[in-house]
Structure 1
C-alpha cells in the first residue's frame, strides 16, 4: 500500500521579492486552459491525462513544428515554463472533467424527474473559471535544492521567469520521520499573508498481517466526557493495558469561548464572529490531533496490529428526553469522525490496520455478561446488575475489542462449525449483545471442540 503525506514548511526569507505575480500568472494560465479544454471537450473526452497533455499542447503551444496553434497561449504567456504549463493542463483537465460529470448527473436527474411528472428546480452546475490553485515546482525545471533549508525556485519577476533563492523552515522535514520516504515535487502555497513550500512524500507501507490468535489490538471508545478510553487486548480476551485520554483544559477553554459567543449572539442577533470561531476550531483541531496521537502512542507501546473503533455516523437525539438541547450542542462539537480519520492515517503509516464494529449496546451492556448497566450520578461510572461499579467507557472498550475478535475468529469457520459453536454459546447469535464475556465463552467452546482460531 502506497501512502502519501504532505510536509508544510514556512518560507522564512525571500527578500523583497513577492510571490504574488507568480500565483497570478499561473491562475490566469489555468483559466485560459480551462476555457480551451471545455471548448474542445470532444477531442479530449475519454483520454488519459498524458494523452490530454499532448493534445492540448498542440492546440495552444507554438513551436517550430507547430507554428500556428489554434489558441495563442505562447504570446499571452511568454516564456511560460514547460513543466508548469503541463501541470496547469492536468489541473484544468480535472476541473473540466468534474464539471462535465456533474452536468451529466444533473441532466440525468432532470430527465428522471420530468419522466415521473415531478417538478425539477435544481440549478445546473456552472464551470468556474477562477480557481485559487497553487503551482507545482518540478525539480530541475523550476526547483533546485541547495541545502536542507535552502532552494532555488523559478519565479515570475519583472515580466520574466528567473531563478530566486529562498530559505524555508525545515524542522518538519527533520521531525516527521520521513528519512526513508520519497520526496516529490514541492508546491508553493499561500495561507493568509504567509507563504509555504509543501513537499509531498510517498512510501510503500507493508500492512500488518498477523494471525488473529497472535494479534494484540487497541479497542477505542470515543466519548464526550473522556475524548477516548483505550484498552489493549489479546485474542483470548486478556486485557493487558488501559489508557484514558482527555484534554480538560482545552475543553474548558472551548466551553468558555462558546459561552461568550452565545452571549454575543443573544445581544446582537446572528453574527459571524470570526475570532470566536477561529479559536473554537483551533481548540477542536488540537483535541482531535492530540487524541489521535495518544491512541497511536498507546498502540505502539503494546505493538498492536489493529486499532478497533465503533461505527459512529450521524447521531440523533430525541427531542423529548431531558437535556436534549445540551446533548445536541455537545454532539455538534464532537469531532468523532475526525479522530477516527486521523488515527487511520497515522496507523496506516505504521502498517497497522483499522477496523470498526457495531456500536449498539457496547456501553449499555456490562463486559462481564451480567446484563444492562445503570449509569451512576457521576456519568463516568456504571453499576452492573451484580452490584459491581465500574468505569462505563472502559467496559465499552472491552466490548468493542471482544466484538472484533469474535467476528474475526468465526469468519473462516464453515456454517456447520459456526452453528455448532453458537449452540454452545447462544449469545453469539445476537451480534448486538456481544461482550467480553462472550469472547471468553467462545474460547472455552473452541477448546472443548478442539478447534483453533485461524
Structure 2
C-alpha cells in the first residue's frame, strides 16, 4: 500500500515446497493414537515422536513463509510488514478433537511466522508492526462499513454493494489500520 492508502500490489503466497498435508496426516495419526487412551495421566505425553515431527514441519514452514514475506517486502520496496496481534486470541476451551488441534497449530504458526519475520526483516532494515485484529476481516475496505456478509472467501458489503475477496479485504484493512494509527501518533507528536 502507498502512503495515500492505495493498494499497489497483492500477491497470494503459496508455498509448494512446504507440504502442509504432512502435518495434517501427522495430526490425524496423533488423534487416532490418543483417542483410545481415555484420561492421560499427568506428566505422560503420548505420541512424543509424532509431535516432534509436527513441530519440525511447522518450523520449516514458518521459516519458508517468513523468508518469502521479507523477500517480497524488499522486492516491492516496503518499509513495514504489518501483522495482526493475536496474542490474546485463544482457542475455545469447550471444543475438543481434531478441529481444536488444528486451531492450536494455526496459532503456533502465526507466532512463529511473526517471530521469524521480525528478525529477518530487521536484518534487511524493514520494520515489523502489530495492530489490533478488531474488525479487520469483517469491515469493508472501501467504505468502512461493518454491515457485511461473508460466504467462504467472498465478502459482500451491504452498504456500498461491493464484493471483495475476504483475504485481500482483510489485508487492506490491516494496512489501513496501521496507517491510521501512525498518522494519529504523528499528529500527537506535533501537537
The correspondence for 1:358, drawn from 128, 132, 143, is 132
The correspondence for 1:349, drawn from 94, 107, 123, is 123
Q: Please tell me whether the aligned partners of residues 91 and 104 of structure 2 are also in contact (alpha carbons under 8 angstroms).
A: no
Residue 414 and residue 257 in structure 1: after superposition, are their counterparts in 2 closer, same or farther (change >3 A)? closer
Cα offset for 1:355? 1.3
Query: Which residue of structure 1 lines up, in the alignment, with residue 34 of structure 2?
Result: 265
Aligned mates of 1:308, 1:300 — CA distance in 2: 14
What TM-score do you get using the length of structure 2 for normalisation?
0.82
Cα offset for 1:382? 1.8
Q: Which has the higher helix share?
A: 2
Query: Which residue of structure 2 lines up, in the alignment, with residue 243 of structure 1?
Result: 11
Q: Please tell me whether the aligned partners of residues 381 and 391 of structure 1 are also in contact (alpha carbons under 8 angstroms).
A: yes
Question: Within 5 A, what are the aligned runs for 1:5-404?
Answer: 233-247=1-15, 250-268=19-37, 270=40, 272-318=46-92, 324-325=95-96, 327-334=99-106, 335-369=109-143, 371-372=145-146, 373-376=148-151, 378=152, 380-385=153-158, 386-404=160-178
Unaligned runs of 5+ in 1: 1-232, 419-454
**Structure ID, larger Rg:** 1
Number of corresponding residues = 180
Unaligned runs of 5+ in 2: none
Residue 382 and residue 341 in structure 1: after superposition, are their counterparts in 2 closer, same or farther (change >3 A)? same
Q: Please tell me whether the aligned partners of residues 317 and 327 of structure 1 are also in contact (alpha carbons under 8 angstroms).
A: no
Greater relative contact order structure (CA < 8 Å, 6+ sep): 2
CA offsets 1:219-264 (integer angstroms, 9 cap, x no match): xxxxxxxxxxxxxx11101111112124476222211111111111
RMSD: 2.5
CA offsets 1:19-75 (integer angstroms, 9 cap, x no match): xxxxxxxxxxxxxxxxxxxxxxxxxxxxxxxxxxxxxxxxxxxxxxxxxxxxxxxxx
Aligned mates of 1:408, 1:285 — CA distance in 2: 32
